[in-house]
Structures are given as structure tokens and as C-alpha cells.
């Protein structure tokens, strides 16, 4: 693929909100690295720390010691407030998850201490329709340095890229061990950080009915010892937002997913927590009915996290994958589950997509209906076809090789050599799969009748807030599937070939 052939997939007003310049950007993989970086970024902020998320747990240690202990985040933030009382520390988290924490004495005690600390503001976000959630994971420092991705600052998230069996540092605040966890986010500096600050300010104002104070505009504070993956690139910001309180619906993320699928030439590599959106699945099936379609490789968890999610998400995933398999080239979709050295599944919470090594996308949005139209989401994308981004393809390829190598327990160079030889992600992974730390094909266990009913009718994963109250006749996976096919049919005459 030559640079001249590339046509941008991202397009302001269609599948993204804004495209802004990043002076520096770096992908951060797994929460151990992110939490250690977050501690440094918060300490280095001069005027404001803004944390926006689905989850936030003040009991966790950002940098646990070998026994999993360390200074609790809540105490760390009190220390930050004491050392620099003129710096604002503003925290916004989803209201339903936050209310559940109010029965935990340690958290309540910490929130009370925060409440009497002038520089700390902790608020719950309920600015969304019933049944929706605030799912963005954004952190902004002094309105110019930002983090956007899939990592919550919560319990049961910390892990290293080694995902070691029995790692004592991987434990809850009460000391209970939890399963290995894979995740990703991206740190960005420059005007794109200012844009994410605007997004955060808007969300804060909607949730609290008051804006954040204006800052003086201090200089950039990118850590000196953090090498960026990208320099001077343009970054697209895409959102999901349900219609609420006079604010219109936004479905940029859904359009971007569909445009990625329509525009891929060779492959799309996904890391995602869920795959339950019939519209997205139908778009993949349409591509796999072509004469020479791209490959679709997904790295996902073995099962969803939680009994209710398993009923809704696992059964829907099975139905959609079986439907896609009926396409002419259905074998070009493969779903893999990463495992530790001793064979335990690693939970995949990341929301990453890489297309043809010319586009990388990192964010909070899953491949489910909720992320397309219900929950508030935010993703960032670097597209090599934008004029400022020409030449970033080798970097995107390096990041993809690093991710696949992590899951397979091999060196990135081995992934690169096999891919150069075959040109196929699937052949590369199949050649490197083995025992122990590796990727295993997802076992499509047939759902039970109750699970199938919930999944087929999208009872826990509706396509919009209104759909939660529709009758069963007006909703379901099949209807979502038909909507996806219809979208691809309309898109086909105008499909981009970049």
C-alpha cells in the first residue's frame, strides 16, 4: 500500500468530534505502567488534576510493593493536596458505581476527608438517561496533557505485561487475589490534550452544573524519561453520548467502527472486552462475503466479568460469531483468548483496534450496543492517511507486534518475521501458538435457553436508551444484524479504498 493510495478514514463531523495535533503521544499497556505514570503526572501537575471515569477506588495502591501493599490512592491525593493546596484535584465518576461504594466504610471515611479538603472535589456523574453509564476514562493535567483509553483507576485492574501466575501484587484492597488483567490507554500532549480538557470541562459542567475554573496555561509537562511513540501527529477524538437533557445523541464511535471495517484492506486487529453489536458483526460478515476480504483477529476474554454480563454478552457473542462463520470466508475471523504460563485465562479489558498497520485506535468503547449509543465513551485515533501522520506506519506496526508478542509469550521480532513471510495475522498467530503463555481459540460454548433469550433480545445490551423500553418484537440481534447489512449496502458504492 503506497502513501498515495491512503485516504483518511477519520473525518470530522462524521466519525470524530475533532482532529487535533499531538506534540507527543504514547500507548501505555497494562495498568502497572499506567498507574506508576499517573502518580508522577498528578504530582507534576501545577494547577489542576482532572480524573473522569467509570470507576474510581481510593483504597488501591498505584505502586504496590512485592506484597501488594502501598500507599492508598486516597492518602496519596490528600498528600498532594497538602503539598500544593492551590492545585485543584477534580474527580468525576459514574454515579451508580459510586453509590455502591458508599456502603464501604473505608471509602466513606476517605470521601469525608476529601470533602473537608478545599482543593479536592469528588462528584458523581448522573447526567445520562436511566440505564446508561458514564464510561469514559480520561485524565487531564493542566489542560494540556491528557490520558484517554480503557483503564479505570479502580480495584482489580493492576497488572504487569508479564501477567505472572500468582503475582502477590495483583490483589484487591482487602488482600484477595484476582485474575490477570490486560488493558491499554494513551497519553497525549499538546492541542489534543487541550481538546480532551474541553471534553472533560463540558462533562464536569453537565454533571455538577458548574464549570471548572480557568487556568493560566502553564507549559507542557511530558515526563523527560518517557519516550513518545509518536511526535507531531494529528489525533481524532470520537465520542458516544445518549440524548439527554437537551443534548443530542452522538454516535461517532459507531460510525468509526463501521468505517474501519469498510476501509480495511488486509486486516483489523481488535482487542476488546465484548463483541455483541449485531450491526458491527453484520458489517464484518459483509466484508467476509467479498472475493478477497481482510482478516479480522480479535483478542478477548474467555467470559465476561460477572454473572449478569456472562448471560448477556457471552451468549450474544456466540450467536454473532456463528452467523459470521456462514460467510464465504468466515474462517478469516478468529477470536483468541490469552492465557498465562500455567494456562489461566487473562481478562481482556482493552479497547484497541489496529487497521492494516496504518491506523491505531485506543479508547473506552467496547464492540457492544451500549458503547454505540447508550454510554458516554471517548476514543482517540491516529490515522496515517492524515497529512501530518505520513510515515507513522512502522510505529503502528511495532505496537501491534508488541501486543501480539505479549499474548503469545514470544519476542516481537518473531511475530514480525512470520508476518513478513505470510502476510497473514492468522497464519502468524497459528504458527506461534503453543502451550503455556499463549493464545487459544475461543471455545464457542452453546448458550442455555435463558442466556440465549436474554442475548437474542438484547435485554441487557440495548441499542439506544429508548430501546430499553421497546417491546421484544421491536428489538433483537437479528434486527441489529439487518441494520448493519443495510448500512454496508449503502456504503459499498462509496467505500474508501485506503
Residue-by-residue DSSP string for 71-116: -BHHHHHHHHHHH-TTSEEEEEEEHHHHHHGGG-HHHHHHHHHHHT
Contact 189, 142 (CB under 8 A): no
Q: How far apart are CA 389 and CA 318, in angstroms?
A: 38
Q: How far apart are CA 96 and CA 121, in angstroms?
A: 18
Phi, psi (degrees; rounded to nearest 5) at 217: 85, 55
The pLDDT score that the predictor gives to residue 448 is 61
Which string of b and e fits 269-287 if b means at least 16 CB within 10 Å?
Answer: bbbbbbbbbbbbbbbbbbb
Contact 302, 292 (CB under 8 A): no
Phi-psi region of 401 (alpha: psi -120 to 50; beta: other; left: phi over 0): alpha
Q: Across the chain, how many H-helices and E-strands are there?
A: 15, 18
Domain 3-231 is of which CATH architecture?
Answer: 2-Layer Sandwich (3.30)
Helix, coil or strand: residue 156: coil
Phi, psi (degrees; rounded to nearest 5) at 337: -120, 125
The residues near 445 (Cβ < 8 Å, ≥ 6 apart) are: 314, 318
The pLDDT score that the predictor gives to residue 469 is 47
Q: How far apart are CA 183 and CA 349, in angstroms?
A: 5
The residues near 167 (Cβ < 8 Å, ≥ 6 apart) are: 159, 160, 180
Which string of b and e fits 370-388 if b means at least 16 CB within 10 Å?
Answer: bbbbbbbbbbbbbbbbbee
Helix, coil or strand: residue 316: helix
Closest CA to 389 of 42, 20, 126, 118: 20
Q: Which three cell numbers stand for residue 337?
A: 483468548
Beta-strand runs (E) in 450-497: none
| DSSP alpha helix (H) spans, 175-295 | 191-208, 252-263, 278-288
Domain 237-494 is of which CATH architecture?
Answer: 2-Layer Sandwich (3.30)
Phi, psi (degrees; rounded to nearest 5) at 99: -65, -35
HSE of 481, CA atoms in CB hemisphere, 13 A = 18
Which part of the chain has CATH 3.30.870.10?
3-231, 237-494
Per-residue pLDDT tens digits of the chain, which is 498 residues long: 455 578 999 999 999 999 999 999 999 999 999 999 999 999 999 999 999 998 999 999 999 999 999 999 999 999 999 999 999 999 999 876 656 666 678 888 998 999 999 999 999 888 888 888 889 999 999 999 999 999 999 999 999 999 999 999 999 999 999 999 999 999 999 999 999 999 999 999 999 999 999 998 765 689 999 999 999 999 999 999 999 989 999 999 999 999 999 999 999 999 999 999 999 999 999 999 999 999 999 999 998 877 656 666 888 898 899 999 999 999 999 999 999 999 999 999 999 999 999 999 999 999 999 999 999 999 999 999 999 999 999 999 999 999 999 999 999 999 999 999 999 999 999 999 999 999 999 988 665 655 555 545 554 556 666 655 454 445 567 777 777 778 788 776 445 434
Q: How far apart are CA 284 and CA 338, in angstroms?
A: 22
The pLDDT score that the predictor gives to residue 101 is 66
Bridge partners of 297, per DSSP, are: 269, 334
Q: Which three cell numbers stand for residue 97?
A: 458505581
Contact 286, 491 (CB under 8 A): no
- Please say whether the dihedral angle defined by the alpha carbons of residues 382, 463, 269 and 412, taken in this order, is positive or negative: positive
Q: How far apart are CA 78 and CA 87, in angstroms?
A: 12
Amino acid at each position: 500500500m503506497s502513501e498515495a493510495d491512503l485516504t483518511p478514514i477519520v473525518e470530522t463531523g462524521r466519525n470524530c468530534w475533532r482532529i487535533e495535533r499531538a506534540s507527543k503521544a504514547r500507548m501505555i499497556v497494562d495498568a502497572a505502567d499506567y498507574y506508576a505514570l499517573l502518580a508522577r503526572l498528578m504530582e507534576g501537575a501545577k494547577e489542576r488534576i482532572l480524573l473522569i471515569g467509570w470507576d474510581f477506588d481510593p483504597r488501591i495502591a498505584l505502586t504496590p510493593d512485592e506484597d501488594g501493599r502501598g500507599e492508598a490512592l486516597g492518602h496519596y491525593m490528600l498528600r498532594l493536596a497538602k503539598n500544593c493546596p492551590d492545585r485543584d484535584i477534580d474527580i468525576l465518576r459514574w454515579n451508580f458505581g459510586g453509590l455502591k461504594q458508599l456502603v464501604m466504610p473505608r471509602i466513606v471515611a476517605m470521601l469525608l476527608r476529601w470533602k473537608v479538603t478545599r482543593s479536592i472535589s469528588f462528584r458523581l456523574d448522573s447526567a445520562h438517561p436511566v440505564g446508561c453509564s458514564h464510561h469514559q476514562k480520561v485524565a487531564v493535567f493542566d489542560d494540556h496533557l491528557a490520558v484517554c483509553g480503557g483503564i479505570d483507576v479502580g480495584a482489580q485492574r493492576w497488572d504487569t505485561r508479564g501477567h505472572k501466575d500468582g503475582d502477590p501484587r495483583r490483589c484487591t484492597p482487602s488482600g484477595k487475589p484476582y485474575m490477570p488483567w490486560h488493558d491499554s490507554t494513551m497519553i497525549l500532549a499538546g492541542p489534543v490534550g487541550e481538546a480532551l480538557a474541553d471534553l472533560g470541562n463540558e462533562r464536569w459542567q453537565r454533571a455538577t452544573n458548574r464549570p471548572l475554573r480557568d487556568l493560566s496555561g502553564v507549559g507542557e509537562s511530558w515526563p523527560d524519561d518517557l519516550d513518545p511513540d509518536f511526535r507531531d501527529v494529528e489525533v481524532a477524538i470520537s465520542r458516544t453520548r445518549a440524548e439527554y437533557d437537551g443534548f443530542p445523541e452522538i454516535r461517532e464511535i459507531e460510525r468509526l467502527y463501521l468505517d474501519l471495517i469498510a476501509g480495511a484492506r488486509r486486516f483489523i486487529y481488535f482487542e476488546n472486552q465484548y463483541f455483541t453489536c449485531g450491526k458491527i458483526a453484520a458489517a464484518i460478515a459483509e466484508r467476509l462475503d467479498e472475493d478477497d476480504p481482510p482478516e479480522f483477529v480479535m483478542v478477548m476474554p474467555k467470559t465476561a466479568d460477572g454473572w449478569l454480563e456472562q448471560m448477556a454478552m457471552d451468549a450474544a457473542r456466540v450467536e454473532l460469531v456463528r452467523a459470521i462463520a456462514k460467510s464465504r470466508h468466515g474462517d478469516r475471523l478468529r477470536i483468541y483468548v490469552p492465557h498465562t504460563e500455567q494456562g489461566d485465562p487473562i481478562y481482556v479489558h482493552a479497547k484497541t483496534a489496529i487497521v492494516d498497520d496504518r491506523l491505531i485506535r485506543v479508547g473506552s468503547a467496547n464492540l457492544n450496543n451500549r458503547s454505540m449509543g447508550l454510554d458516554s465513551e471517548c476514543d482517540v485515533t491516529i490515522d496515517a492517511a492524515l497529512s501530518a501522520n505520513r510515515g507513522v506506519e512502522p510505529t503502528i506496526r511495532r505496537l501491534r507486534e508488541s501486543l501480539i508478542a505479549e499474548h503469545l509469550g514470544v519476542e516481537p521480532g518473531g511475530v514480525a518475521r512470520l508476518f513478513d513471510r505470510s502476510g497473514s495475522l492468522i497464519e502468524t498467530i497459528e504458527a506461534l501458538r503453543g502451550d503455556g503463555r499463549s493464545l487459544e481459540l475461543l471455545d464457542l460454548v452453546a448458550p442455555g435457553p435463558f442466556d440465549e433469550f436474554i442475548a437474542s433480545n438484547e435485554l441487557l445490551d440495548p441499542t439506544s436508551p429508548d430501546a430499553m423500553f421497546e417491546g421484544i418484537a421491536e428489538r433483537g440481534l437479528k434486527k441489529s444484524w439487518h441494520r448493519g447489512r443495510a448500512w454496508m449496502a449503502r456504503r459499498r458504492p462509496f467505500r474508501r479504498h485506503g
